[in-house]
Chain A
Amino acid sequence: MPNRYYRLRVRNAADTADAFTFTSVRGGTNPYLVEPPSGDGQEVDLLTGAVRTGAYQVRVADAVVGTDDLGTIRTVTQYLYDAGFGDLLKEDDSGFILLENGDNIIVSSDYAYARPDLLSRRAFIEMSPNGTDWPPTDGAVWMAGYITNITQDTAISYTFTISDSRRVEQTQRVFTWAKKTNPQVGETDEVTEFPQRGCIFGGPVIGGFGAKVGSTTTAIDSGGWEFSYLGFQQGIAAFKFEAAYIPPDYNRVTSVPGPYINTLWGTLKKYFLQTSPVKSVTGGDFDGLRDVGSVYSFPDVIAVITDPTSTDVWRGSIRGFLTPKFVNLPAGSFGASTPSQLATTSLYVTFDPINVSGSSPTPSLTVGKVYRIRAVSREVSPDAPLYLDLHPADIAAKLYSIINIPYLGDTNNPSTATGSLTWVKQQLGPTLRLAARITEPQLMADFMEKALFGPFGFAARTNTSGIKEFFVTRRLASSTSVAATITDADLRGDQPPAIYSLDESTAVTGFNITQRLLTPWIQIQNSTEVPPADNIVEQAVPKEFLFGDTTTYSTRIISYDLPGMVHDEGTFQAQPDLFGASVLADAQWRFTRGAPIAELQVLGNSSAASLQIGDEVAVSASWYPNRNYRIGEAPTVGPRAMQIVRRDETPEGPNFKLVDSGLLQQPTLSPTVTIAASGEDPRRRAAFTITNAGLLNSLGDASVTVQYATGASSPTEDGTPFAAYDTPFVPTAAVLLPPVIPASKVWVRARVVQKGLRPSAWTAWTSVTLTSWSAPTSVTTDYVENKSAQLLWSIGTNTDDQVEVYLAPGSTAPSDWTPYRLNTLSAGTTRTNLINLTGSTNYIAGVAFRDVITNSRSSIATATFTTLSTSYFPGTAAGRPFAQFINTVRDVRFLSGVPIALYGIPGRPLYFELQRAPNVSGSPGTYATIARIDGFETMYVDQLPVDGVTYWYRIKAIELLVDDSAWLTIGSTTAGNVPPDLIIPPQVPPTINYSLYLTATQAIVSFDINGVAGGVNNSVNGGGIWIGDLSASALIFPPDYTSSPVTLARAVGTDSLFTIGARRDGFEDRAYFTVPAQ
């Protein structure tokens, strides 16, 4: 045997240099190793992917190597503790204990406060053949890990235990969405690695989830609710509600219906905390945080604030939300809010420290600008689950990244070698995806084994550099060649351990695989069911797969419980049976009747000595059985494929434990495949034909496996599994592939899998390009007003696909249109009205087709436009409201405060805004808003005024689509001393009714106001109708026209849009109608 030298190399705390080494080399540095290292290496469980931690021990003599002024210095003891604190620390670590003169108390070098310094240090146990050359130049790394134990085992020696990093996985909770780092500088954590969260509001899912399709079939990302920024004080930002996106359609609304508010409360109350007001903030924007009895706080709900015009993100806990103004609530109580409560109260967010610089937010926000805000629970919860839709290997890699465990394939350790991230994704299928919905934090090791390694058949080992390498634990059938070999010449020892062992405990008779299908919530007609906050419904689908000869052997069912569903990148459609079959494909041959196990001792200088756990090797030890012969006694049976599951180091060489993985021979036939666009659906579906199916059907116990893929060029990796046809049922006719995005180039290939043999080589990929699919064309705008516009487009001959309309601010198309979807319209639609626009603003509108079968979207055709500063037409202001004080003297219900009666046009005002001003020498001082009141309310009581103090009040109406009404001064009053009689009698707001009668060339419009044909003509208060031609941007009938009916000309070839308005007593009503073309 060649010489063997060992050393223990311990790194410094920063892992930038060796702190010290001990060797067995005569004349080397610190030659104090007492004996060769010993221990156990890594071992993998193929069915769960769990990798047992390797651990090795090495003993070191604690020899005397010198003295100093304190005592004797020994080889190991000198490193046990750190240098100690230079100063005396207070017990709570809040600072130093000082001398009377203010100086620090300097501790002498007795190390009274030193602490153990070596645990968790990076360390290596290495072997050299000559004592001079060490890994990576020569020799081998026995263990690359961390110091996990130091024991003074005798009075003259210590034993160091070096283990790997897996202990971190055993204690680490993942999916907490803890924010540890600063994304502004590119650091990563769960927030950046797994950004998709279901939202309590503002979602349903950050970044969307699943296929990016219409709101009825997926969880979209609405982009967040719209809030305008008011200001920032003492770390708290104030926002004013502007618009929401609520289920089920997530279309934009500026008034949130009451039932949804109740639903929102139902979620928020789990996080509710009634807190004291913040009296130190100033100004009207913060009065909802200051001038209240208590604040509705949600400290465990965080607001994620984004700027739609940049990539800036702010986060913080919700300090106040939906807090009723000027109402002192009993402690601990809160109630359902009304829509007005959302509109009239502000949102207050305590920014996370990372988003605060001094007394300002960082990055800065712009007062008055509209930001998008989503609310999620601080920790992942059923109310705000964490979503991910990634390749399983990518999920594992991200988790390793978050806890700073390096792996092959990350940016610091790129590699395309076996064991890398890229390689294992290719083995599993690069388009494989796990779409998961995580509702609570989990222990990382448990999640890795149960959700990733076990069901998908891969794991991660620690290589000789201490870096994680991914490898496949099953699914070896995807590999057709095994390069590594172990022959008699590679083995050592004349008394080897058992080379063949078959134990009942290795038998697997079936699998129970539970997937959780994630589908969008669907509104049932006439149902009052409230949609979930994230609009997604989870459906557990357990599937049991039993092997045929279960009854003749012991029963062992392996259960995999996936946190989501397995699908292909291109479809987002789970196929539990297909995935189950893929799990079974390898397991059936390897575990159904037990898995033969071998233990082989390999020579240290053998080429096989470099093999690691997970590697597959062709074993041809002469006495190993293959089928019913020994390999050395029946040359035709050839070697046996086996997979290494354990590797232990010894001075003579590694000891391997291997699990049988089958024969090396391949079937005698390979398939031949052609592909063409299908006749039934040439735009979405291709069909392939196995042209030698008849011949293949003659093979016994075989099946033909087919994969397909889409892409411009031939796939370089595995495609999507499509089918496995058992012989003799391999189809001879053309077979339809699943629908894909129209006009895709579809590729297909196949191979033969036969009982007990390794699969045949895949055929070459063959392809067809499907019929093309165009976007809508000729997108234009018309009737552009200050708050609305009409959008038109051409759909050509495509009357099959739904039409999606998008609208984004600015004149440049956003990189991702998803958050800007306005609506999904029925097939055949060629126009829509855009409303709620802002005057003098640039917009870009987009129109695309939506293929509901493949959940795909065509490219987007766009048009840009700029809204007008003012409308062409009168009547664009909200109907002026009326209000009056109520005589409290005559109504015993109001003993204090100022009750105000409210009058608005029925069904018109969204809400009233009420302002109050102090009385200054008989005139109003500065008005301030005290309430926004729902438009359907008829009375409001201002509780604040003290009896005997006079205030002024005024009111205006706020409506959709139009400007606010002018202010109406109600007058001044003194609480407890309201004038006894009304001053202004209530007046009658108009309600317009109209009907349309068409002749060949004319449209005759009959109308009435408040049931009076022709309306009124009140010279005192004004009254009558006006009609505007939106198509021509012209006012046809002037205000106060009263003669009904009126006659309009029908345009030739083009429909015309008109608006009709009625005015009376300062109130207004308005409607729209279309006159069809003649």
Chain B
Amino acid sequence: MATIVFNDGGGSVTLDNGTTAISSGVGSRFADWVPFQRPIGPRVTAIGTGVPYQFRFRTDYGASFSMTDIPNTKMADMLRCQAWLLNGGGVTVNTGDASSRSYTTCYLAPDGDVTITLQDKNVLLYSMSFTLINSAAAAMLCIYD
């Protein structure tokens, strides 16, 4: 039951790929989940020792992932989701993993992107790729069984 929920002012939207009924199926999961945890701030390296020195403004906790197998009937929701994130909006990421992890304050990561790709032109399935951060300052884990 991997979903992305948001409200862009035009009403609440739950974006999924329509396979949530098969709760344990592959289609109901996010694909390519790659978490990251980066200190943000300037870093310099001492030329004599090579030791890096970092001043951390904050730490970004995020992940890049994809939602696949989205039918073309969800095209409007995909566009709204993309515009909302690019415009600075926040979304809730429900991973549907073993611990039902949910991240309610996710935003586009610095230098991140959200894209829509035609996955299967025969059956008109799309996939969306995200690079988001969790502003709640907690690691974005997603552990499927």
Contacts and interface: CB of A to CB of B under 8 A. Distances in A.
Interface in B108-143: 110
A1 B88 contact: yes
A623 interface: yes
Given A488-B57, A623-B55, A495 B88 contact: no
A579 B55 CA distance: 45
Contact of B40 (A2, A494, A622, A623): A494
Contacts of A3: 87
A494 B88 CA distance: 16
B42 interface: yes
A494 B40 CA distance: 7
Interface string B42-80: 100000000000010100000000000000000000000
A71 to B, nearest CB: 42
Contact of A2 (B41, B57, B88, B110): B88
Nearest to B88: A1
Contacts of B42: 495
Nearest to B42: A495
B39 to A, nearest CB: 11
Interface residues of A, number: 8
A493 to B, nearest CB: 10
Contacts of A1: 87-88
Contacts of B87: 1, 3
A697 to B, nearest CB: 44
Interface string A596-631: 000000000000000000000000001100000000
Contacts of A494: 40-41, 57, 110
A337 to B, nearest CB: 83
A623 B57 CA distance: 8
A1037 to B, nearest CB: 111
A623 B42 CA distance: 11
A494 B87 CA distance: 18
A15 B41 CA distance: 49
Contacts of A623: 55, 57
A728 to B, nearest CB: 43
B37 to A, nearest CB: 15
A622 B40 CA distance: 14
Contacts of B88: 1-2
A608 B130 CA distance: 33
A622 B55 CA distance: 10
A688 B110 CA distance: 64
Q: B42, B57, B110 — which one has the most chain A CB atoms within 10 A of its CB?
A: B57
Interface string B29-42: 00000000000111
Interface string A619-653: 00011000000000000000000000000000000
A1 B107 CA distance: 11
B66 to A, nearest CB: 25
Nearest to B60: A494
Contacts of A488: 57
Interface string A894-932: 000000000000000000000000000000000000000
Interface string A471-500: 000000000000000001000001100000
Nearest to A494: B40
B112 to A, nearest CB: 13
Nearest to B40: A494
A163 to B, nearest CB: 33
A3 B87 CA distance: 8
A3 B86 CA distance: 11
A443 to B, nearest CB: 46
Nearest to A622: B57
Contacts of A2: 88
A601 to B, nearest CB: 13
A235 B57 CA distance: 79
A950 to B, nearest CB: 112
A495 B87 CA distance: 21
A317 to B, nearest CB: 70
Contacts of B41: 494
A3 B9 CA distance: 14
Chain B CB within 10 Å, residue with most, of A1, A494, A495, A622: A494
Interface in B3-41: 40-41
Contacts of B55: 623
Contacts of B110: 494
Contacts of A622: 57
Nearest to A3: B87
A3 B8 CA distance: 13
Interface in A478-526: 488, 494-495
B30 to A, nearest CB: 26
Interface string B62-106: 000000000000000000000000011000000000000000000
A1 B108 CA distance: 11
A622 B56 CA distance: 10
B6 to A, nearest CB: 16
B38 to A, nearest CB: 10
A498 to B, nearest CB: 11
B7 to A, nearest CB: 16
A598 to B, nearest CB: 15
Nearest to A491: B57
Nearest to B111: A494
A495 B88 CA distance: 19
B136 to A, nearest CB: 15
A3 B89 CA distance: 12
A1040 to B, nearest CB: 115
Contacts of B40: 494
A494 B41 CA distance: 6
Nearest to A1: B88
Nearest to A488: B57
A383 to B, nearest CB: 66
A494 B55 CA distance: 11
A622 B110 CA distance: 21
B69 to A, nearest CB: 32
A623 B88 CA distance: 26
Interface string A7-33: 000000000000000000000000000
Nearest to B41: A494
Contacts of B57: 488, 494, 622-623
Nearest to A630: B55
Nearest to B110: A494
Nearest to A2: B88
A995 to B, nearest CB: 105
A17 B40 CA distance: 50
A494 B112 CA distance: 14
A47 to B, nearest CB: 32
B97 to A, nearest CB: 30
A773 to B, nearest CB: 68
Contacts of A495: 42
A3 B42 CA distance: 29
Nearest to B86: A1
A2 B55 CA distance: 29
A495 B42 CA distance: 7
Nearest to A495: B42
A779 B104 CA distance: 92
A1 B57 CA distance: 20
B8 to A, nearest CB: 13
A8 to B, nearest CB: 25
A495 B110 CA distance: 12
A488 B42 CA distance: 15
B89 to A, nearest CB: 10
B64 to A, nearest CB: 18
13 contacts: A1-B87, A1-B88, A2-B88, A3-B87, A488-B57, A494-B40, A494-B41, A494-B57, A494-B110, A495-B42, A622-B57, A623-B55, A623-B57
Given A1-B88, A494-B40, A494-B41, 10 more contacts: A1-B87, A2-B88, A3-B87, A488-B57, A494-B57, A494-B110, A495-B42, A622-B57, A623-B55, A623-B57
Interface of A: 1-3, 488, 494-495, 622-623
Interface of B: 40-42, 55, 57, 87-88, 110
What 7 pairs between A and B have smallest CB-CB spacing?
Answer: A494-B40, A1-B88, A623-B55, A494-B110, A494-B57, A488-B57, A2-B88
